Structure 1
């Protein structure tokens, strides 16, 4: 069977981006919300803007939608400068967190609302609404009002309405924020499915790391108006470019030390009387340079006896977080550092061999962590 080509237009220099931010700065008085930002987003991408509150992700989205104008720089869509184009003249639609459905209109009429303001005839509108109802699996709810359906269904109505006019670009502002965790997870897969079927470019704003990692083709991690790193979810997780990104995405242990190169390995002196941590990296660290060793808890093993591993540190179990499928052990080292180690709960809890206050060893390979210079 022929292999599916990998979707990665950002790696192909012949591809023209759909959206270009070119040296864009946005100020509100003295406050700089977006700071000299340059970024390309490609057609058919599901692009996630991820970051804490106030990092500039919503401002970036509002500028794409035409609700804010850059103070400096240029935003173009399909090669056209958007700085003077009003929101209603852009091939862009925005789906808000509140869904903003009309309570007095049926689901059918809510989806048809924007189409009735175009020069489409009635049959074409009916056909398009039917297509959107089918796409979002809402056919049997067409005659109901928004208050007669569930939160997850209302979310799909808002999505169907946003897609009805076939925008080139759909902006989603925290679209799943109002849903409970289980429904949110189900809806994430629906969103991906709909995005793939329609081929529309989606840009989503979220502060939920798990959501960004699930739905996006690429994730842009933002802080204080800047994009710190843009990469595929697996690259962001496995190869963060800074302690900020490592710490923001998922759980991580970060140990600071001084680097020394020995052959093809880097030794990190991190505490008096403790063995060096041995790591592998392609980054060049000068002798004695401060570095940060970041390692994910699931890559740290925990055992009662000293293992034969390149890195083994002795400590005591301080805390255990039981999450059903996994347990996270917080192990305190003699230096006061806390290292988190994660194990899959493949056996019943009563048979767990390690408990609070136990003396244990945490260990990891020399390739399990990432060495960072900032």
Structure 2
């Protein structure tokens, strides 16, 4: 059954919703180095929120402050309306799952999950039922008596997740949780994480440098650079309407074309290379300006003959082809040496591919395929 608009989970669009987590003007310095720079951010209950960025951008520092392992130099961090800057890690309604999983090798799966509960104020008689619930949730019932070295990497990951969720935290932090898994298992586990997060209703905050992982699991993604959040949005908005060249270039593959936009009534005419026709693009800009035009390779159509009904079209020669199984990426060189990438689905066998190296081809796209960026 299709979702009705009111069923869509988007508390960030509701002015009456109160965030579960609030960062307000948070700065974190390590000596002369600023890891987090005047950051303000809201995260809502039941979100699966991703902090995405390259190594050293500040995402792990942000998570460590939420966990209580670091204190902000300035600014406030609130959890459920309470300032938690001076609350010790063990007294926060927060749990953290590490990349290494940190399981006790001498304890069984059951005992690993029960470990934290036995040291909590939970009634001892209630612990077995809670552990059994976590085993069912993570589909580990038949592995309950095994030691960590007797189960697979994906199963160890689920044990660490079950242990982290056993005490029913308001917030679960996941630090590169799938980094140790092979690619196929990582993809499978991403969907398991989403399913478990939805079933428990726990707020998840994941730190990752894997764009595909963030785009798959998250309700919203925060793209970070040098201690600053550059853009926060849903995965489709991050991909389709990046707010800067940095975000467009960081997420997925993209063609970036520098030029000058002449704007008239919501349409930009972009002059970008001598001898090339200008690019036409719908835009929110209101004034002429220097710009970067970003268009994804899958938005570009590649044909042998010149298309007649497309507002943007350029001619070039196939320089290289990257065959990726389900898709092929064509690197097309223009007369001035610039290379534009176009992608096609491999819906035919490779022997029947329409284009090959050095073929002359036309690239074309619509006026809504790309975005005009000034930052």
TM-score, normalised via structure 2 length? 0.98
Distance in structure 2 (CA, Å) of the matches to 1:78 and 1:123: 30
Q: State the match for 1:7 in structure 2.
A: 9
- Equivalent residue number for residue 82 of structure 2: 80
Q: 1:119 offset after TM fit, Å?
A: 2.6
Q: Within 5 A, what are the aligned runs for 1:301-316?
A: 301-308=301-308, 309-316=310-317
1: CA distance between counterparts of 2:243 and 2:122?
49
User: Aligned residue for 1:323?
Assistant: 324
**Corresponding residue number in structure 1 for 2:365:** 364
Match of 1:182 among 181, 184, 189: 184
Aligned to 2:218: 216
Structure 2 gap segments, 5+ residues each: none
The question of 1:269 aligning with 2:271 is answered: yes
1:54 pairs with one of 49, 53, 56: 56
Question: For 2:243 and 2:257, how far apart are their aligned partners in 1?
Answer: 15
SS in 2 for 1:16: coil
**Contact residue 271 and residue 278 of structure 2 kept, 8 A:** yes
What are the superposed Cα offsets for residues 320-353 of structure 1, whole Å, 9 maximum, x if unpaired? 0000000000001112111000000000010012
Q: Any residues of structure 2 matched to 1:48-197 within 5 Å, and which?
A: 48-197=50-199
Question: 2:246 & 2:321 partners in 1: Cα distance?
Answer: 25
Question: SS where residue 55 of structure 1 aligns?
Answer: coil
CA deviations 1:290-340 (Å, max 9, x no partner) are 111100000001111111211110111100000000000000111211100
Q: Which of 224, 232, 235 pairs up with 1:233? A: 235
SS in 1 for 2:9: coil
How far apart are the structure 1 equivalents of 2:90 and 2:186? 30
Kindly state the Cα deviation for residue 263 of structure 1 after the two structures are TM-superposed.
Answer: 4.3
**CA–CA distance in 1 between the matches of 2:24 and 2:200?**
28
Q: Mapping of 1:273-352 within 5 angstroms? A: 273-284=275-286, 286-287=287-288, 289-308=289-308, 309-352=310-353
1:249 counterpart residue number = 251
Query: What's the Cα RMSD here?
Result: 0.9
Three-state SS of the structure 2 residue aligned to 1:120 is coil
Stretches of structure 1 lacking an aligned partner (at least 5 in a row): none
SS at match of 1:334: coil
Deviation of 1:283 after TM superposition, in Å, equals: 2.4
Distance 1:263 1:230 in 2: 28
Taking the aligned partners of 2:354 and 2:299, their CA distance within structure 1 comes to 19
Match of 1:42? Answer: 44
How far apart are the structure 2 equivalents of 1:199 and 1:263? 46
Give TM-score scaled by structure 1 length.
0.98
* 1:246 Cα deviation after fit: 0.5
